[in-house]
């Protein structure tokens, strides 16, 4: 759950988000190493009163500052490519949910269960503990299930985003965007529209309730 003092990522609720956090830490360590190395060279050159004539037009030095950046880029590229493959869509999803963005609320439809659809507005309950994040109709999703989400919009461009899940997809009028995810934790997870879509852009939250499969089937009945 996001709080006012949060400076880092939210706790992950999917395997993809866990890998995104690991990749972020990996990249930050490489950047810190580069910063320390470059800072040391700059400081030593500023306080060094002597010059080495061998450094001028030195082939060895030019080779080093050409090869090192390539090595750093490879250290970032390989984990990044691996993560992109992990984020690919599932070939055989267990459930498909359709999301439509409106000004300013979300509509959900369980495509595999044609009769079940509803609108999700921000709750106006002032006693709610989750300010600006609570909704009147939460989206229910079964735990540890392969979910395919089809996202579109009825008016302007919106963005369906859940930070703890590690997903963000634009809802574009006349276009269907698709994403896949799996929740590996039970609980309530929130997000917001991340594309400026008008006057009430800040008031169209997303709330997902992840529940056991048996309880999910009972809710449908």
Which pLDDT tens digit goes with each residue over 110-119? Answer: 888 767 888 8
Measured between alpha carbons, how far is 100 from 107 in angstroms, rounded to an integer?
Answer: 5
**Residue range 156-215, pLDDT digits in tens:** 999 999 988 888 899 999 899 988 888 888 888 888 899 898 888 889 999 998 998 888
Q: Quick one: pLDDT at residue 83?
A: 85
Asked whether residue 8 is assigned to any structural domain, the reply reads no
Q: What is the pLDDT of residue 2?
A: 63
Q: Assess contact for 197 and 156: CB atoms under 8 A.
A: yes
Name the strand (E) or helix (H) holding 62: helix 59-86
- The region of weakest confidence among 23-37, 86-100, 115-129, 168-182 is 115-129
Tokens of 131: 């300010």
Q: Are residues 151 and 216 in the same domain?
A: yes
In a domain, 9, yes or no: no
> Average pLDDT of the chain?
84
> Is 3 part of a structural domain of the chain?
no
**Is residue 79 helix, strand or coil?**
helix
Cis bond upstream, residue 149 (ω within 30): no
The H helix count followed by the E strand count for the chain is 3, 10
pTM of the model: 0.77
Check residue 15 and give its pLDDT. Answer: 83
| Measured distance CA(108)–CA(116) in Å, rounded | 9
| Range(s) of the domain holding residue 165 | 95-220
Number of domains making up the chain: 2
Verify that 100 and 206 share a domain, yes or no.
yes
């Amino acid at each position: 759950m996001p709080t006012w003092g949060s400076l880092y990522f939210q706790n992950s609720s999917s395997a993809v988000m866990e890998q995104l956090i690991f990749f972020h830490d990996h990249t930050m360590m490489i950047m810190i190493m580069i910063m320390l190395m470059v800072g040391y060279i700059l400081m030593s050159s500023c306080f060094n009163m002597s010059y080495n004539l061998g450094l001028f037009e030195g082939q060895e030095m030019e080779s080093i500052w050409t090869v090192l950046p390539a090595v750093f880029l490879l250290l970032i590229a390989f984990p990044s490519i691996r993560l992109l493959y992990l984020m690919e869509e599932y070939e055989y999803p267990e459930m498909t949910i359709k999301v439509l963005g409106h000004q300013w609320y979300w509509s959900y439809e369980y495509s595999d269960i044609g009769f079940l659809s509803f609108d999700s507005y921000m709750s106006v309950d002032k006693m709610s503990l989750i300010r600006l994040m609570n909704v009147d109709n939460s989206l229910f999703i079964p735990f540890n299930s392969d979910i395919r989400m089809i996202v579109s919009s009825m008016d302007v461009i919106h963005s369906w985003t859940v930070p703890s899940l590690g997903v963000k997809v634009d809802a574009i009028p006349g276009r269907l965007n698709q994403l896949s995810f799996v929740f590996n934790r039970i609980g309530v997870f929130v997000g917001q529209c991340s594309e400026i879509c008008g006057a009430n852009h800040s008031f169209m939250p997303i709330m997902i309730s992840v529940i056991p499969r048996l309880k999910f089937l009972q809710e449908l009945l």
